[in-house]
Amino acid sequence: MTLETVLLVAAALFSVGLYGAISQQVVVMVMMGLELMVNGVILAAGAFWWFLSPEPTGQVLLLVIIAAMTVEMAMGFAVATLGHRARGSDMTDTATELKE
């Protein structure tokens, strides 16, 4: 386990998530892709902290990333709920214009 190997795993997670985020048609699936990308970022930040950071406070970055993910998920669900109520669908293709 070296910094390079952990980062490679993180990069793999990020890329898989990226594939999902741009290929999926359903909002919730897109969000899952985004979450997977953030998952990779969490791992990378953890690895940077452990291998490189001179001080223990680098963990704060991780906490911020996790918090950003919760915000993403809460707003994503709220918008998906709103979109579903407005037009009975949650396909990204139909959400290209925001007016009803």
**Interface with other proteins by CB under 8 A: which residues?**
1, 3-9, 11-20, 22-29, 31-33, 35-36, 39, 42-43, 46-47, 49-54, 56-57, 59-60, 62-64, 66-67, 70-71, 73-75, 77-82, 84-85, 88-91, 93
Contacts of 90 by beta carbon, 8 Å cutoff, 6+ apart: 26, 27, 28, 80, 83, 84
**Does the CA dihedral 80-85-86-90 come out positive or negative?**
positive
- CB nearer to other proteins: give 43 or 97: 43
Answer positive or negative: Cα dihedral of 29, 18, 10, 73: negative
Provide, rounded to whole angstroms, the least separation between the CB of residue 99 and other proteins: 16
| Six token digits for residue 51 | 């291998």
Measured from the CB of residue 36, what is the shortest distance to other proteins in angstroms?
5
Q: How far is the CB of 100 from other proteins (least distance, A)?
A: 15
